[in-house]
Structure 1
Amino acid sequence: MATMKAIDIKDGKGPIENMFFTEMPRPKPTHAQALIKVKAFGLNRMDLLQRMGMYPVPPQAPKTMGVEFSGTIEELAGESERGFKKGDAVFGLAYGGAYAEYIAVSTHMLVHKPDELSWEECAGIPETWITALQAMYLVGEFKPGKSILWHAGASSVSIAGQQLSVSDGASATFATARSDDKTEFCVKELGAKAAYNTQTEKWDESVLRDTDGKGVDIIVDYIGADTFAQNLNAAARDARIVNLATLSGGKLKAGQTDADLGAFVRKRIRFEGSSLRSRDEAYQGRLRDQLVEIALPKFRDGSFRSIVEKVFPWEQIQDAHRLMESNKTKGKLICTIP
């Protein structure tokens, strides 16, 4: 049986130091899958949670971490999507398994790698850009002329989201972040109209000021408890609040319970949670198609950027996780496999 190197977790979960290299069987592609020799993979915050045993991994996912990658097709199963062949350079989204030399993944979730982008840039696109597309269009119901606010503005999904919003005619694109360096990045590098430091200002009041009291039409939030009340205040009438994570905690505590719940009725607000990894292949495949249609041409001509903060050789996976935990990054962390 052919084997491969992969990154595993001692005891199945634990701190950074529990990650180690191991040998495991090389996956065999079935049905519509392809076997990919991985060149690079992207890190995501869900990886940190999964490592600690705090992320609900889909039943079809392998235990190995990693959901986005770039590489070359080594083998195709009999039902694979037309248009792919052995040797093709691709990038894609998986339910897991990218922290390894090889990954078996549905061809419905693969995209041909543009010559204009590096392996590292492509490895940082699938999870973040597809999540941004899902939050903005499918859940948030974005249309040109609407305003939108992206929390955690220097995070990878919001970096993608701000570029999408500006490109597709948002009346105004806003962001929040936890430092002046990051808010400046959102305005100068991503085109946000304004970005607010959540540590030094009441960002919801700033949004109302900058929208002449109207509020913002769509809010994409990963924070949870700490932003719940302010989201309701900053939301416009008929606003959509899209919640993708609860980084500040999933339960409201004392001091967070002064939220104006009447805003739900008065403003006709819709608050909706969503996730991507738990979706079925057909749903994810539609988003793959949207990525190819909307974003790929703009990556080719340079209008969109896959912003990579730092590239690590995969032997330094522990250092990569430490940097992600520091919350000091502006863009993707990528690991490469020789």
Structure 2
Amino acid sequence: MLTRRSSLALLAGGAASALIPAGAFAQQGVDLSPEQPGRPRAERDEEAIRLIAKDAKFARDGVFTVANNTGRFPFSGYASDTKTVIGAEAEIGQLVADALGRKLEIVPTAWADWPLGVVSGKFDAVISNVTVTEQRKEKFDFSTYRKDLLGFYVRKDNEITIRDPRDVAGLKVIVSSGTNQEQILLRWNEANVKAGLKPVEIQYYDDDVVLYLALESGRADAYLGPNALLSFKAAQEGKTRLAGNFSGGWPVLAEIAVTTRKGAGLADAITHAINTQIRNGNYAKVLARWNLTAEAIPESRTNPPGLPKA
């Protein structure tokens, strides 16, 4: 495993932060203003409102209170005023809030804190790249709004294509330790080796700067990670490209969803609201604004099959 220190020794040379500053985003056409004039807005959806259970309770009157683990575009980040939350998830939340006739309030929340906050009623929902799983369905209801995709990204001039496990045989692939994508890559590698194919050389980095230097210098062939994050970075910088993607629950379909307390009486209303926005085109506009079109779903579903507990 390559540590930050050993990787820097291999890839000596100055590098700027891997997190693109707000100014750079602005220069590359991403609107970071707190006003967000281009954000799609929805009309009040009376049918969605009728689907709210009569005994449903919101955290605040007239407000749709949403927890969000703010900090990474295109999901969510801060506007140029350093306090307004913007991004794809904020915009999905805005569409739902508008449809339900409520004002949106986004509460930046640590990932570990959202489950208790939703269960206790502090938040009406969490919109924060939460994948539907069978275990989570025991405590939460889900209204899907995006596919959970992983992507292989390569240097822009690298012509390789990765469509199935055999395509990674013999490649040098970067992946983050302890992630779902690492487990998938390890399973692929194990199957390839059993089939007599060359093993994958798996590389780990604990520094994003070094990681991308490895990819751009040719020390690594591909980087496997969340498609949304890597697609957005590729679109902004133009240094990498998508070589192939697949479900984050491979071989099972995985979906991202608005998450509410189980039995809170909100899920059917939210699902209907999202489907209205899919039909009228607002949903597609949100995904396009944040380079997430590849993760679009044709229809929102309430509590679909989730990733298995195993």
Larger relative strand fraction: 1
Higher RCO, 1 or 2 (CA under 8 Å, sep at least 6)?
2
Q: TM-score, normalised on structure 1?
A: 0.30
